[in-house]
Structure 1
């Protein structure tokens, strides 16, 4: 009886996991629904099989401790019920990532279909951006939001972020084939260059920076690509120059705006946001102020000297490390960094390709010298945990002989 139930659960989740990348493009509520269903189904099958081996994974232990701390720390916030609830709700991402890493993406057929769907989503977003920059409207009807920013199919300027955070997942099969000498190394290199140029067109500076760093990590860390390091860098610079000449407004965006932001950074918008976050951190350094409590606490009168509320008080601290520090305290930051370290250690068990490509995939979420989206929101969290789960699935499980299959 239970085997039949588990079989139906697995088949249903296999479909959901396969279409997750495409559902994400359609709307975050759909993607979040898949995350919740996959997490609940995984708990149910673990209970029916009495198989909890995945809990012995070090990264799972750290992730659960991180969620527990965020939930506990929320009790000391200005709105304990809301902050603790938002901290506890992060567990859905942990459980869904465990399901993908320990079960679904370990199945080669499911992983292949997932990667094909992800590649289709990346191509769709990239094509939508090219249409939008050419015609002023995307294929999905989104107008050009700013002269130097693109939205693609999304309602806000997130297309470059999406491409930067999924590119090293979608191109993993090409990197693997090149590493096995079954595909010329020029193919994944050309795809990386093309993706980088589209990200440039979106006008998203952090996305371009971290994607470029990821490309550099792959060029240095993967022997099959290493000999192309200098030509790739030269070609990349030339490509960036050509696009900049064709769209001179991008020079204003990437050069003029960046120089202006860095000049007197502490008193500029992002500087004021970080200073507000640091001030709130010093008030509650151990527990933090609570998940998503930053916009509620930021307008406090005692922080008025930092700058106008409408400039510095946004939805989150706009920096991954600062967000952990402000909303979860030093303990949350330490656990989060420990989680990243545990992931990289597990990636290394899967071999050089998994480690290098996995590191490149993590940079857009954790690079400290950039602004970022909130890691607690569905849009960013789905991409973050999805990326980690894929590379974890390519590494051997601790103390397990194979995927968690019944019988």
Structure 2
């Protein structure tokens, strides 16, 4: 029989193992990853109830997340004509809370001690290396380890059969690569510094060779942000960008599909943005928000509303009336978190979502300018890239991409909160939650 005093420690260990397994499970076991996220969240709530520790609900970013979550549920209630939701949408909105509790569990309990944070970093680095190695192997041989070749337009798929490598790798690239790069270039030995530059260049080169446009652009943004926060990284960042530019310039020879995706197709889509799939999605989401400016259409509002002809409005209706692509424009989501927030919850939902995002970045970036640290900068850059407003994205709570984000978020919040100069001794994971 388990001693009563040992029970909280056992729960913490189960939650810690579950949390560490989330990142590898996100590769090819999304249902398992979701179950692990939920298990971690539930065990955290059990411990909070046992210890009577609920002050974290009033701290930092949590009230902003609660406000947006409650509004999302309210907008998802079926009460026409005011509210356009459904009980299925309401249930999905309610279940979003597991991601917020998961991040809070990492920040407030599981990652208080330096050792679990180090273990999580090793896990993230292993997953990033695995994706990168699979991409390089596929580039060299034409197939990944499982026999899958490039995707239709020539994108490298890495360990997947679909083009998922770029969006997933960019979410964990900086916290995985930045710490070893900074450790290498801080050494006096020239060979170590060269190795640091090559490692950074390799990361950029892999992202370019994958051939997915948005991940490449976000990688460049992340490198700029990291270099601004870490002065020692600036020359390395320039070198890495030069390496990436050389790879891109040589891509017509070394990887024609990459050149087609990153240069030719991207240029064509930008020249004809309003008639591109992304431009049509933007206009459809904008129309849904205009017709429901206060409450939106509830959770999954874009998916549920997109097939309705009342929203089929194009860009130039005043001069050349059109249906905005009609039914063929419809997707599961508008491919942008902020458009999703507005179609789900109207303009109030968009404002609450933006406040939540700003609270996350504020808490993760606390003291970072004065005391830059490679791990924290990598995590901050990764979170900023995921939340960057001018980007094509998956749905906000869609796994696997958002799963990586909430791991990064909880880890980054924990690093910001517990890696302080005044903290002279580590706090064990079983310690009660402090104010």
- TM-score, reference length from structure 1: 0.91
Q: Shift in Å at residue 181 of structure 1?
A: 5.5
Determine the C-alpha separation between the residues in 2 that align with 1:163 and 1:302.
39
Equivalent in the alignment of 2:316: none
Distance 1:347 1:301, change over 3 A: closer
Secondary structure of the residue that 2:61 maps to in structure 1? helix
Determine the C-alpha separation between the residues in 2 that align with 1:375 and 1:265.
23
Determine the C-alpha separation between the residues in 2 that align with 1:67 and 1:185.
46
Distance 1:169 1:25, change over 3 A: same
1:163 pairs with 2:175: no
Determine the C-alpha separation between the residues in 2 that align with 1:232 and 1:201.
14
Which is worse superposed, 21-30 or 182-191? 182-191
Equivalent in the alignment of 2:323: 306
Q: Deviations over 1:261-317 (max 9, x none)?
A: 112311221111111111101111122212223122112122343333353101100
Q: Deviations over 1:84-117 (max 9, x none)?
A: 1111111000000000111212222211111111
Determine the C-alpha separation between the residues in 2 that align with 1:91 and 1:114.
22
Equivalent in the alignment of 2:340: 323
1:266 pairs with 2:274: yes
Which of 198, 205, 210 pairs up with 1:202?
Answer: 210
How do 1:377-396 residues align onto structure 2 when only pairs under 5 Å count? 377-396=398-417
Q: Shift in Å at residue 358 of structure 1?
A: 3.5
Determine the C-alpha separation between the residues in 2 that align with 1:87 and 1:176.
41
Determine the C-alpha separation between the residues in 1 that align with 2:244 and 2:267.
22
Secondary structure of the residue that 2:225 maps to in structure 1? helix
Q: Deviations over 1:192-221 (max 9, x none)?
A: 321222222222111110111101111222
Q: Deviations over 1:163-189 (max 9, x none)?
A: 101111222532563687599565554
Determine the C-alpha separation between the residues in 1 that align with 2:339 and 2:346.
9
Secondary structure of the residue that 2:6 maps to in structure 1? helix
Q: Shift in Å at residue 132 of structure 1?
A: 2.3
Secondary structure of the residue that 1:317 maps to in structure 2? coil
Q: Deviations over 1:313-351 (max 9, x none)?
A: 011001122111112222222222212221222223353
Distance 1:180 1:234, change over 3 A: closer
Equivalent in the alignment of 2:114: 108
Distance 1:195 1:66, change over 3 A: same
Determine which structure has the larger helix proportion and give its number. 1
How do 1:68-83 residues align onto structure 2 when only pairs under 5 Å count? 68-76=70-78, 77-83=83-89
Tell whether the 8 Å contact from 2:107 to 2:410 is kept in structure 1 after alignment: yes
Secondary structure of the residue that 1:315 maps to in structure 2? coil
Q: Shift in Å at residue 154 of structure 1?
A: 2.6
Equivalent in the alignment of 2:360: 343
Secondary structure of the residue that 2:417 maps to in structure 1? coil
1:234 pairs with 2:242: yes
Which of 45, 62, 70 pairs up with 1:43?
Answer: 45
Which is worse superposed, 203-212 or 246-255? 246-255
Aligned length: 406
Determine the C-alpha separation between the residues in 1 that align with 2:185 and 2:58.
32
Q: Deviations over 1:60-94 (max 9, x none)?
A: 11111111111111115544211111111110000
Equivalent in the alignment of 1:154: 160
Distance 1:134 1:172, change over 3 A: closer
1:222 pairs with 2:247: no
Equivalent in the alignment of 2:391: 370
Which is worse superposed, 294-303 or 87-96? 294-303
1:58 pairs with 2:64: no
Tell whether the 8 Å contact from 2:41 to 2:101 is kept in structure 1 after alignment: yes
Distance 1:103 1:180, change over 3 A: farther
Which is worse superposed, 171-180 or 388-397? 171-180
Tell whether the 8 Å contact from 1:22 to 1:121 is kept in structure 2 after alignment: yes
Which is worse superposed, 381-390 or 235-244? 235-244
Equivalent in the alignment of 2:23: 21
Secondary structure of the residue that 2:400 maps to in structure 1? helix
Larger-gyration structure (1/2): 2
RMSD over aligned Cα atoms: 2.5
Equivalent in the alignment of 1:33: 35
